[in-house]
Amino acid sequence: MPLVAIARILAVAWVLLSVGVFFLMLNGFTPQQALALLLWVAAPLPLAYWIGSRLATTSQAWVAIVAGLALAFAFGAWLYWDAFLGPSSRTESLSGLVVLHGPLYQAVILAIALLTASRLSRRSRPAA
């Protein structure tokens, strides 16, 4: 399976997982708040995929993007599982903080992956 397809699958699967997080958020948030937070939670991976598809010109760059997407996906899935379904009891305020800060942590992982992909793409271009 080509790396582009794997990246696309991770981005789409993250949006689907975010819809599941939306239903979990309905337990502690109003539907309007949960809908607004759904956009915040769902955005990092598809946005990184879109930016990465513009940056990546080599297979090495795609490896960096897929690795970043996979790490951000795994970290986000664990974070939301722990906040809403995990073995430790979480208060609503702590779950709210996870929802607010989780995408920021994912953005850091994805920014590193995108910077790496950008550098790998530039390295492979011939000097003029």
Residues of the domain holding 43? 3-124
Domains in the chain: how many in total? 1
State CA 53 to chain mean position distance: 15
Beta carbons within 10 angstroms of residue 75's beta carbon: 15
User: Using an 8 Å Cβ cutoff, are 69 and 110 in contact?
Assistant: yes
Beta carbons within 10 angstroms of residue 108's beta carbon: 12
Predicted confidence pLDDT, tens digits, the chain (128 residues):
699 999 999 999 999 999 998 988 888 788 998 899 999 999 999 999 999 999 988 999 999 999 999 999 999 999 888 888 877 656 666 777 888 899 999 999 999 999 999 999 888 766 55
For the chain, the straight-line distance linking the first and the last C-alpha, in angstroms and rounded, comes to 34
